[in-house]
Amino acid sequence: MMLSRSVWLFLCVALLAVAPLRAQRATLLEKPPQTDAAAVVAATTSMDVLDSTRRLGAGDRLSYRVVEERRDPVGLMVADSGEVEVPLIGRVKAAGRTCKELALAIRPMLEKEYFYKATVIIGLDAVSAKARGRVYISGQVRSQGSIDIPPDERFTLSKAILKAGGFADFANHHKVKLIRKNANGNAQTTIVDLDLVTVHGELDKDPELQPDDTIIVPEKFVNF
């Protein structure tokens, strides 16, 4: 059946009108949800919700803003020295701190000279591929020596033992020593019963490791 010229013209106009709508719908469907830390930081007004678990390391990229400034977030990067260059303040230690700890450290510096009250919001934009430093393990493990801290996970004492090949036959699981230097450079020793973690599932007893921690696994006094 032959269509008249007017009908053909109507169909062509209708198709031209529908095509952009289809293209727009396809674009909307294909567009991924926004997960950029800058957008999250821009929408956040409370320091209580900042990440308090993952520790920062050299090469990490951050988004930063002070709510009271009413400005868009700015990007910061943790330098190899472990510091970030913070607007108005200068260099602040970031490596080894969580986003929340870093924000809490920056807030009094801002309030000292620039703000009556400062609400500091920090989010992690991108994780560095660099190792976060090393820990050192000796004693009753299969492989003694240094272990790199992975950049993309919470690296705990039990994970370090696994990386070292596990406990040796005569290891004392109940008195693993974790030695860490404090801010003053003094060594502090914590005794950890790893059986509470590996046997009883008490994961809160599995400490997260920091660069330059030393782990010593002692030998049992009686081997049987």
Fold of the 37-126 domain: wza like fold (3.30.1950)
Confidence at residue 4, expressed as pLDDT on a 0 to 100 scale: 55
Domain boundaries, the chain: 37-126, 134-217
CB 84 within 8 A of CB 95: no
Confidence at residue 76, expressed as pLDDT on a 0 to 100 scale: 94
Which segments in the chain show pLDDT lower than 70?
A: 1-37, 183, 222-224
Top-tier CATH class for 134-217: alpha beta
Give the alpha-carbon dihedral of 61, 150, 133, 136, to 10 degrees.
160
**Residue 138: in which H helix or E strand, if any?**
strand 134-139
pTM of the prediction?
Answer: 0.60
Confidence at residue 16, expressed as pLDDT on a 0 to 100 scale: 46
